[in-house]
Amino acid sequence: MTDVTDPTINTASDLVEHPRGTAPGKPGDRGAFGFEITRRLDPTADGLGRGGFRHGRSGVIHTPHGDIRTPAFVPVATQATMKAMLPEQLVDLGAQCTLANAFHLFERPGEDIVDAAGGLGKFMNWHGPTFTDSGGFQVMSLGVGFKKTLAMDVTGLKSDDIIAKGKERLAFVDEDGVTFKSPLNGDVHRFSAEISMGIQHKIGADIMFSFDELTTLMNTRSYQEQSVERTFRWAKRCVAEHRRLTAERLGKPYQALFGVVQGANYEDLRRHAARQIASLDFDGVGIGGAIEKNILGNICAWICDEMPELRPRHVLGIAAVDDIFAGVENGGDTFDCVAPARTARNGAIYTRDGRWNVLRAALKRDFRPLEEGCDCYTCTHYSRAYLHHLLKTREMSGCTLATIHNERFFVRLLDDIRASIDGGYFDEFRDATLARFYANGSRG
């Protein structure tokens, strides 16, 4: 493994220009990517892994553009930007990495432009590690029109033709791939394993995901079984195309490829899918799919039981505070979600004492910071009253300041969880944090 303390090794300031593991005329060196475990959680009588094992751990993911100390929160920069924020502000709030969306960058500005700019990091002036989602999420979100909520409570009818009220189906799945109708202009686009890999290689993120089919919790068991097998067939094609493109695109840094495990709420399907993905030459794993909230930890544990330990695990689309703890305890290393930024723009503020809305009339004359003791730029410079005013008057700076605070909340939460694992006090920290956060019935 590369010695990051070696003064001859590239620092964060020049990794965009000189990423690790690159040489002119040669494929990217796969040795520039790796994962090492720092400390594991002790097993317990109620641990959800086999034999009470708890898969939670701290560690380090090494990438060509720098290291990610895990567990870590990954802010979502869907269109190569975090809405209402600059990359420099993400650095200031402690973000180690960021995630962009392949489908949206394919639509605008186009992967060729990102490639010509020198890749995602250089295009957006982000000097750290980057991820790209494969477009698999759009299989579900455009196909059925549901909100961007993956950990949910669900009861009632199972259906394979479900669609959200008032929505048009914009994605159609077949064996070879998915046909999308663009939500921007109605143009018809085609994604397959090979097309997704081609787009993601040109975008140039350090970590990519294989193209998968994301189902809903309302799909029938029969459809979930078909979807798991289809996702596995697509995964094999992604691995083959990834190898070909890595060998072809000379002088570029190695891009790690994570396979995605689906299977909804079914233990046998999740374990089966995990074994399938583990059998392929992936660098890591994405824990994907719509997940019933009360068994999120179980699902992570089922998957991690079947996966090699030294493959890092990314939990896709999760950011509720209790879900974060359940995910970490049962093996999640990195987490992404749009919720902290999206809710911030609507006035919802995350604090250690729960989530509340700064647009409440009672806060119009409240000159305290959003959260006492918070070290973010917003809390050290501005008051609740000022944020109330900015968001009420729809000033863009209000979205910026609220987003800075919420993103800092989740980055710090994962930093604190990591410290608690390293320090041997995870259980105590989890219990105290959750008791305080949910004491007043917070939705977060």
**What's the DSSP call for residue 85?**
-
**262 near 217, Cβ under 8 Å?**
no
pLDDT band at 165 (very low <50, low <70, confident <90, very high): low
Q: Average pLDDT, stretch 75-88?
A: 97
pLDDT, one tens digit per residue, over 265-276 is: 999 999 999 999
- The span from the CA of 390 to the CA of 397, in Å, is 7
The pLDDT, as a whole number, for residue 444 is 75
List, for residues 84-99, the tens digit of each pLDDT value: 999 999 999 999 999 9
Name the token pair of 291. Answer: 């997940």
* pLDDT tens for each residue of 353-376: 999 999 999 999 999 999 999 999
Residue 8 has pLDDT above 70, yes or no: no
Mean pLDDT (whole number) for 412-432:
98
The residue among 221, 250, 216, 340 whose CA lies nearest residue 23 is: 250
343/220: higher pLDDT: 343
Mean pLDDT across 328-355 = 97
Average pLDDT over every residue of 375-393 = 98
- Residue ranges for the known binding site are 133-137, 212, 262, 289, 374, 376, 379, 405
The per-residue pLDDT of the chain, averaged, comes to 91
Has 46 been annotated as catalytic? no
Residue ranges of the annotated binding site for Zn(2+) are 374, 376, 379, 405
Q: Regarding the domain with residue range 30-337, which homologous superfamily does it belong to in the CATH classification?
A: Queuine tRNA-ribosyltransferase-like (3.20.20.105)
What's the angle, vertex CA 194, arms to CA 190 and CA 200, rounded to 5?
90
Residue 15: the pLDDT is: 53
C-alpha 266/C-alpha 270 separation (Å) is 6
Which position has the higher pLDDT, 76 or 186? 76
Q: Which of the pair, 297 or 173, is modelled with greater confidence?
A: 297
Query: Where does the pLDDT of residue 149 fall: very low under 50, low under 70, confident under 90, or very high at 90 and above?
Result: very low
Instruction: Give the pLDDT mean for 9-19.
Output: 57
User: How far, in Å, CA of 97 to CA of 12, rounded?
Assistant: 12
- Whether 245 has a pLDDT exceeding 90, the answer reads yes
User: Has residue 395 got a pLDDT over 50?
Assistant: yes
> Contact 218/130 with Cβ under 8 angstroms?
no
| Distance (Å, whole) CA 395 – CA 391 | 6
Distances, alpha carbon 164 to alpha carbons 147, 183, 218, 260, in Å: 9, 15, 11, 25
The per-residue pLDDT for range 45-55, each reduced to its tens digit, is 999 999 999 99
- The predicted pLDDT at position 348 comes to 98
pLDDT value for 140: 56
**Confidence band, pLDDT 50/70/90 cuts, at residue 141:** low
Q: Half-sphere exposure (CA, 13 Å, Cβ side) for 106?
A: 23
Where are the chain's structural domains? Answer: 30-337, 339-444
User: Is the model's pLDDT at 166 over the cut of 80?
Assistant: no
- As a whole number of angstroms, the distance between CA 49 and CA 165 comes to 38
Is residue 148 pLDDT above 70, yes or no? Answer: no
Beta strands across the sheet bearing 256-261 = 72-74, 334-336, 313-315, 284-287, 256-261, 207-209, 130-133, 98-101
Whether 133 is catalytic is: yes
pLDDT cut 70: percent of the chain above it: 89
The yes-or-no verdict on residue 405 having pLDDT over 80 is yes
Q: Is the peptide bond before 109 cis (omega within 30 degrees of 0)?
A: yes
> What's the pLDDT score for residue 95?
98
Q: Residue 144 and residue 169: Cα distance in Å, rounded?
A: 6
Distance set, CA 166 to CA 30, 163, 169, 213, 431 (Å): 46, 8, 10, 23, 41
Q: Do residues 15 and 65 lie in contact, with contact meaning Cβ atoms separated by under 8 Å?
A: yes
Set 133, 283, 322, 333: catalytic member? 133
